[in-house]
Structures are given as C-alpha cells and as structure tokens.
Structure 1
Amino acid sequence: MPRIWKRAAIACVVVSLAGCAAALPPRDTPQSEKVIKQNSDDKEVADGLALIQAGKPQAAIDGPLSDVASRLERQYAKSDDQIYSPRGQALTVAYSAYSGHDVGDKKHPGTGKRVINIGPAWAMAYWARGYAYSDMGRYKEAETELAKALALSPKDSQYLGELAYVNQREGRYDDSFKLYRAAIRNIDLMDVWPDAQKNDFLCRAYGGQGFDLVQLKRYDEAGKAYGACLKLKPDDAKSKAGMEGLRGMKASAAGAGPGK
C-alpha cells in the first residue's frame, strides 16, 4: 500500500503570485495605491511561503500570513460586495461571469451583490496557513483555513487539492476523492501555471484519487486513476507502486477463492 498521497510543493506559487496582474483591484481606491497595496500583500504571502519552506510553519502563520489575512479581513469586514480573490485571468473571468455585466458593476445571482475581484493575496494567505497547519498535523485548523481560501476562490485547483489531501489524512476518503475530482475538473482555469506544472499537479491528483479509491475498495476505479497519472508521467513512482499494490491485492484475492 503506498503512503498517503503528498500534495504539491509550494515553490511554484511564488510564480503564481507574480503572474496574476489580471485581477481587478477594489473599487473606490486610487489606482496607484491599489497597485502598491496588492504588491505589498503579495510580497508578504511570498515571505510566508519562504518561511514554510525553511521549516518554520508557525512563524509563517503568526507573521506575514496572518498579517495579510487580518488586514484584509478588517478592510472588507463591512463590505456588502461579493469578494473573490483569484489568481490569473481565467479565474478572474470565471468569478466575474457570475453575473451578466462588466467587472466592477456586477450583481451576484440571487443576492443583488456586486462581484469584486481583489487579486490573489487574501485567498493565498489562507491557503498557505492551511498548508502550514497540515504540515504540523493540525488538520482541523488546516481545514478551517482552506475553507476560507475556497470561499474566496472556489475553483482554484490547488486549494481544492490541498483540502483533498487534508481530508485524506483525516481518513475521509470519499470527501477527498470528490475534492480531487473538482481540482482536476478546474485545471484549465489555472492559467498561471505552465503545462508541465499542470501535468505534475494532475498526476498527483489522479494518484490521490487512486489512493482514496483503494481505501474505499473501488479497485477497478483506482487502477484507472493510477493509469491516468501514468499517461501523463509514465515514470511516476507512486502511481507505479499503486498499480503494483492493486495487482498484488487481486492476486491474493484470486488465491483465496473457493477451494483454496
């Protein structure tokens, strides 16, 4: 049985922060101030990610990540708008399309709220805190943070994949499988990622599904999930191990049949 599927490393997300200029800043703020503020928030998130990579997850949570999250929580605490925190053009357009008019003058279906896209830092601060809590084995706290990230960017594949990983660590394999499925479904919206990075993520997500399906005893589906990863990355060690494990289970089951 392979180890529980590890999610993506965080090094790539600094690139994602740098590649998100399409996000619409808050309304009623001078443009120069908006750009400076967004860049400052992005830098603090990147600083938090660097601390996590340096093996200091609690320092990342207590320092730059909470600084960004708390500041933006205060800024939008009394807002009547529907706030989204996307990265990249595709996610920005997806959330802006939730009503039928131009960005900045939208009505959210069923609520009458204006849809405002503020850039990636807020959701990424929550995601990074969730990642850090997960690294410390504090999965309930991780789940809380990731739910906040997904409230601000519900179609972001990386946030969905991280929550899938946390659910998997908690033994919630059906929930994990469904979240990996959503992450795979939304991969085309991750236009801040190059194709090679998308393929790496997809392989991990398919492998994560395979692990979940083995735990759920849905072995044929698990084989298909591992196979989907291997089509993208034929040398992926974990999916190869997953396939070998499945073959071993089937051989054991055949050997334990009637009359054996």
Structure 2
Amino acid sequence: MPALVHKTLRDYRRSVIGWLIGISAFLSLYLSIYPSIRNNPEFYQQAALSKYPGPLKDLMGGLADIASGTGYLQTVVYQLLVPLLLIMFAMTLGTRAIAVPEEEGTLELTMTLPIDRRRLVLERWAAFALSLLAVALVTMVLVLALAAVGGLKVPAGNIVAAHAGLFLIALFFGTLALGLGAATGKRALALAVGGGYAVGGYVIETLGKSVDAISWLRWVSPFHYYLDGRPVFQGWPVGDYLVLLGATAVLAMTAMLAFERRDVGV
C-alpha cells in the first residue's frame, strides 16, 4: 500500500469509527422496531400514510408498502435517512483530502513528498474510497443480520445490491466534494455546492415522478441512478450503477487535473 494512502487512512481512522458507530446505532434502532410493525401492519401502514402530506410522502418514497419487510427496509434504510448520513460522511471525508489541509496550512508538508500532484490526489481519493467502503461493508453486514433476526424476509442478494448503490451514491458525492476542494481549496464551498446538489438532486428525483415540469431533470440527478432501479425490490440495476461509477471516475480525473493546474495557497 502506498505510504500516503496508509498515512491518510490512519488520519481518517477516528472519523471513520465515529461515523460507523453513529450509522450502526441508527440502523439498529430503526430495524429493531420492525417486528412490532409486522404484527400490526394495517395500523402502521395507515399511520404512516396519514402522517405525511402528499409532497412529503413523495420525498419519503411514497410509503405505500412500509408495512412489508421490503418496503420498510427501503423507506427506513435506503430511501433517504441512511443515504443522507453516508453522503454527509463521504463529503466530510472528501474535503479532508485537499481543502482542509490547504486551509490549515498542512498541505505544504504533504506536497514535499516525491510524488506529483495527480498522484497525490489519486492516493488521497483512494484512502477516502477505502474508508467509505469499510463503513459500507460493516453496515451492510449489520443490515443483513438485523433483517434476518427481525424477519424482514428480504433476499440477501437484494440487500447487497441496495447497499452497493448506497456506497456508489456516497462515493459520487464524496468525490464531488473532494474535486471541488481540489479545484478551489475551500472546504465550505465544496460542502455547500456538493450539499446543494445532493438536496436538489434528491428532490428532483422524488418529486419529478409526479411533477411534469421537472421530470426531465431526473436524468441529471445522481439519485435517479440510485433509486430508480429499486434494488431492494428488483435486484441489481447494473446499467444505473455503471452510470454512477462512470460519473465518479470523471469527477476523480477532473479533480486531479484541477489540482495540477492551479496555484495552491500553502
């Protein structure tokens, strides 16, 4: 393993552990509730539908099948809340690759290493991606275990497929934040632009299904390629995931080029 990747992984260790504990606690809390919903599905289904008005219900994924194991897993884990947490983690980690050390004045030391700028960005990105992958793998195992214990009756292959999409959407936005940080050296700007795109993209994808005026924008939302294939219900949407992978690769290459060509404020 390259020395810079190894060092960066060590630097990220506390953040990774903290976010992993937080996301795991969230998953454990909400998935442990399902047995009570399974035992009284009509009540909880009606309660969920009456609690949220139309547009908000759309933002939550429709809630039409929340009393089933598959519908509950989609709504609670894969629709909004866990993607939001993992994207926040990914973007926070992404800005720590270039923007944060540049603002703190520590990037100069890293740039004294005998590697060019492109490789520096690539190895920082690799450490970020490995950290995100570790969190995704551990939480996937946790979901598989809790789904089995709680009797959700969701095929394990579909959970793996959905969690792969969760990793890919977080990887995309984390890479976007890394790229914006590499291009500007500004952590706040990277988080603001990346976060705005994430929120806007999610709203467009969920509301665009019922609002014709914005439906065409769904194709430019990363969430379209994460949610539209419904992997919890239908398995692997290979084409959609390849789009996310390709877009992430473009962002990573753009980050390397942008950092190589600008003056670094260290």
TM class by smaller structure: under 0.3
Per residue, is there more helix in 1 or in 2? 2
TM-score (norm 2): 0.27
TM-score (norm 1): 0.27
Which structure exhibits the higher relative contact order, with contacts defined as CA atoms closer than 8 Å and separated by 6 or more residues?
A: 2
